[in-house]
């Protein structure tokens, strides 16, 4: 969140190389140098047709990451079941077959294995990140019975359901806050942080970048890190912690499979001056307490945290008996940058080393959470200026990496959108014809017109569409164990032509070589002499050829070798 506005799997082979060899620049973030700035490309892209000599690390043991593909849904924008123009839970249920029909022999569904529902609790805001009741459903979206039905139907199709859980703050409309603001004698006064009660000066800069986080109410100042409508809860209060743990248990008992934890690093990181190891340790201690509580109901509940950091070191702390995953923001930047520049970003090299740290911190239990963009960022198609070739290559990279890939709704059809937030959360476009049943209308689309060619209906019928491309890549992932469950190893290409990205995906029983030609020109790659990879397993372009260790990669193509 930004501004106002069986998933815990057993692990595979342990990595044997020492964590101490990690360099500071790699741990600072996949797309950053040691100063935190984007690393410039220091070499001109080579346009020569000379073959590349590939040096493959094919015998190194790897950490496996059994995974599934998740789909992030803003319910308000997704599908309207009752004609009021607002998406709802019954609408999500109606569209489950679009996501996964439960039949592995059909290929006209997307093929995902999980959905993440953005906030569905009661809230006065359109986005729902300011909650007024942690154990109920927003009336715009339906009822608890509708939620139960959605979970039941999703599980029938093999789809896990996780939900946004927003515990850092409530709404100012929450009954707790209304009572707390009434005076110091309120039962709920200490549920929140009041400057005067704690003898603190109501000054400082928000750790979320929103200015002074102190806001006046009835002559006192409460802490609201994100904005005045979101008062921060006081996690030094054991009653608050119990409320949040009990609310999490409530949803797990209802059948939810886990949580996406909003603003996870801001539990105690409120002011910019709070940043540091001591604050991180307090955050982690709370989330370990939360995890322990969830384990009492479902030890396999999947917990993924929003720790908006590019530093692997910062994220890794939360993998110690707290989260299964932390969203990999640095990697997302690196993928988008690579396809924009049409140049390799050394992702395999970086991730192989970062995962050693994650492996150690999590005692072998982590799984990465990879994505391109989410509900707080300009949509990837807008970042790529509408270039469908670049969008396809971004999808190719995302869906062939380890961990759980998260797809933001509409990303698979190329929906665009740029800030403000409402414009990156526009209604999903289902049909070619405007005004069809199910189309949500809560917000007028600026970027994605109802009745556009960028729609599910139009793209489902086009084998060359972005939607068809996503379906194909997810199908590959579901069919090839090394893509679905494997770890990652670097695969070094020896010359300076950086148009091809390559890495090995590996399980104990299978290794495949993934190669992406990020450029608009055909590329030639000369594989290593040991012939470890001797056949084309999958390709996005049938013009790809492998002949005596020489691989021809058509422009903007992905090839899987076995």
Active site residues: 262, 306
**DSSP line for 170-227:** --TTSHHHHHHTT-TT-TTGGGB-BTTTTT--S---BTTSSS--EEEETTEEEE-SS-
Q: Describe the strand order of the beta sheet including 536-539 as a list of residue ranges.
A: 536-539, 557-561, 511-517, 500-506, 487-493, 52-56, 523-526, 550-553, 545-547
Query: 273: burial class by Cβ within 10 Å (0-12, 13-18, 19+)?
Result: exposed
Rounded alpha-carbon distances, angstroms, from residue 307 to 93, 98, 117, 422: 30, 30, 18, 22
Whether cis (ω within 30° of 0) applies to the bond prior to 209 is: no
- In the three-class reduction of DSSP (H, G, I as helix; E, B as strand; rest coil), residue 117 is classed as strand
> Would the CA dihedral through 517, 518, 520, 524 be positive or negative?
negative
Percent helix, strand and coil across the chain, each to the nearest 5: 30, 15, 55
Structure tokens, 548: 């005596």
528/543 Cα distance (integer angstroms): 22
């Amino acid at each position: 969140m930004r501004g106002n506005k069986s998933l815990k799997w057993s692990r595979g082979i342990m990595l044997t190389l020492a964590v101490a060899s990690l360099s500071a620049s790699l741990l600072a973030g996949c797309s950053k140098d040691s100063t935190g700035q984007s690393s410039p490309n220091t070499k001109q892209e080579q346009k020569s047709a000379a073959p590349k000599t590939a040096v493959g690390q094919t015998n190194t043991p790897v950490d496996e990451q059994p995974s599934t593909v998740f789909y992030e849904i803003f319910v308000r924008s997704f599908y309207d079941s009752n004609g009021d123009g607002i998406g709802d839970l019954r609408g999500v249920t109606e569209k489950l077959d679009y996501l996964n029909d439960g039949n592995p022999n059909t290929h006209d569904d997307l093929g995902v294995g999980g959905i993440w529902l953005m906030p569905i609790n009661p809230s006065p805001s359109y986005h729902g990140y300011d909650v007024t009741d942690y154990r109920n459903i927003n009336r715009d979206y339906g009822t608890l019975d509708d939620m139960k039905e959605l979970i039941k139907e999703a599980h029938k199709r093999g789809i896990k359901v996780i939900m946004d859980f927003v515990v850092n703050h409530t709404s100012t409309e929450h009954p707790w806050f209304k009572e707390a603001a009434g005076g110091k004698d309120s039962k709920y006064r200490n549920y929140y942080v009041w400057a005067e009660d704690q003898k603190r000066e109501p000054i400082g800069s928000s750790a979320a970048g929103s200015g002074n986080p102190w806001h006046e109410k009835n002559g006192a100042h409460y802490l609201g890190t994100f904005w005045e409508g979101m008062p921060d809860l006081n996690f030094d209060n054991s009653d608050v912690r119990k409320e949040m743990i009990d609310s999490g248990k409530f949803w797990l008992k209802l059948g939810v499979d886990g949580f996406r934890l909003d603003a996870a690093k801001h539990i105690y990181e409120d002011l910019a001056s709070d940043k540091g190891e001591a604050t991180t340790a307090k955050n982690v201690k709370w989330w370990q307490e939360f995890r322990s509580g969830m384990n009492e109901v479902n030890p396999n509940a999947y917990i993924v945290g929003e720790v908006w950091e590019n530093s692997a070191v910062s994220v890794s702390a939360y993998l110690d008996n707290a989260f299964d995953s932390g969203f990999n923001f640095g990697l997302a930047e690196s993928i988008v940058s690579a396809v924009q520049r049409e140049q390799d970003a050394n992702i395999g090299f970086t991730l192989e080393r970062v995962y050693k740290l994650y492996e150690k911190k999590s005692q072998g239990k982590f799984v990465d959470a990879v994505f391109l963009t989410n509900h707080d960022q300009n949509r990837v198609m807008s970042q790529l200026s509408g270039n469908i070739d670049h969008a396809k290559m971004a999808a190719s990279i995302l869906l062939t990496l380890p961990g759980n890939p998260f797809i933001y709704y509409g990303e698979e059809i190329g929906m665009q959108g740029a800030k403000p937030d409402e414009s990156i959360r526009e209604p999903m476009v289902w049909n070619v014809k405007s005004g069809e049943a199910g189309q949500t209308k809560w917000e007028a689309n600026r970027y994605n017109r109802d009745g556009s060619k960028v729609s599910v209906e139009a793209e489902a019928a086009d084998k060359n569409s972005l939607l068809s491309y996503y379906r194909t890549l997810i199908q590959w992932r579901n069919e090839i164990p090394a893509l679905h469950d494997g770890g990652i190893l670097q695969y070094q290409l020896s010359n300076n032509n950086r148009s091809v990205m390559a890495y090995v995906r590996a399980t104990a029983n299978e290794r495949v070589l993934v190669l992406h030609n990020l450029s608009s020109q055909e590329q030639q790659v000369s594989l290593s002499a040991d012939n470890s990879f001797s056949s084309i397993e999958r390709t996005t372009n049938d013009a790809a050829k492998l002949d005596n260790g020489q691989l021809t990669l058509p422009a903007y193509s992905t090839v899987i070798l076995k």
